Amino acid sequence: PLYYVAHTPSFRREKTSAGRDVRGIKRVHQFEKVEMYKFTSPETSYQELESLTEAAADVCRALKLQFRRLEIVTGDLGFSASKKYDLEVWSPGCKEWLEVSSCSNTETFQARRANVKYRPAEGKKAQFVHTLNGSALADTRVIIAVLENYQQADGSVVIPEVLRPYMGGAEVITKA
């Protein structure tokens, strides 16, 4: 298999009723994310989907955020996906689960359009690869979950241990 990642600015229009839940950073029209992408053989694509989803789940675990993994029913799958998982983190302030990752196996759907093939063995006929994609985590919603889950009664925020090396060793963010 071939594994790729890319940092992507994303633009999306959230589906909400007029004026409902559209303020703040929970439902933004632009956000940043790391996109994960895999080219795999048909024989390993569903195992690779599990590992792709686990890579995103590992970030939630490292941040010690309560999260859940949902397998999307076939009636709710997009046009291209054969199987899809969503990861959601708990937001105590919003009192709801926020989707932070979506990982899909599109089998040969994208490969056929791009004519991406591999040769399973010397002398064998070339076959279409299976393509998988997933967002590592949507940044704004993870920030919400971290702030809401780590905020203290005095308004300070305990920095998750895994982030401290990137915060100059700081352990707490306090009000200025």
Strand partners, 7: 34
* Tens digit of each residue's pLDDT (9 = 90 or more) over 126-156: 999 999 999 888 788 899 999 999 999 999 9
DSSP-derived 3-state class of residue 141: helix
- pTM confidence score: 0.84
DSSP 85-114: EEEEEEETTTTEEEEEEEEEE-TTHHHHHH
Q: What domains can you pick out in the chain, each with its CATH number?
A: 2-151 (3.30.930.10)
Report the catalytic residues.
12, 27, 99, 102, 141
Q: Which tens digits make up the pLDDT trace of 27-61?
A: 556 777 889 999 999 999 999 999 999 999 999 99
Query: What integer pLDDT is reported at residue 27 of this predicted model?
Result: 56
What's the CA gap between 72 and 112, in Å, rounded? 24
Q: Give pLDDT, residue 31.
A: 74
